[in-house]
Amino acid sequence: MTTSKTDTSERKLSRRAIERIIAHYPDIGEEQLHRLFDYFRLEASSGDVARIATNPRIRPQYRQLCRDHRIDRLRSVDRLFGVVAAVLAAVSLVSLTAGS
């Protein structure tokens, strides 16, 4: 799968719009807050989130947003995958040591 230059520039524009909203956090309206939720839940790639999180101009506001609304927490699917992987690793370890 390739990403076109247009997709990349649209992502950049979208990320910059989100950064402008975050710069004003917590003094934003409900509509802007929901736009942030939608962006992080549906649009943002891990690279987008990393760029936002490491932007020194908005780092304090971003951290407060994350604390207030648990933005940077693992999603349920990610947690479930982690639990399943840990259980499989434990079962494999037990079966390896039992077979020795």
SS3 at position 79: helix
Express each pLDDT in 58-100 by its tens digit: 999 999 999 998 876 545 556 666 777 888 888 888 888 876 6
CB 73 within 8 A of CB 44: no
Q: Are residues 78 and 60 in the same domain?
A: no
Q: Are residues 10 and 41 in the same domain?
A: yes
Separation of alpha carbons 52 and 34, rounded Å? 17
Domain count within the chain: 2
Look up the pTM and report it.
Answer: 0.67
Separation of alpha carbons 28 and 24, rounded Å? 6
Q: Are residues 19 and 63 in the same domain?
A: yes
Q: Are residues 62 and 79 in the same domain?
A: no
What is the sign of the dihedral through the CA atoms of 78, 81, 83 and 85? Answer: negative
Express each pLDDT in 16-42 by its tens digit: 999 999 999 999 999 999 999 999 989
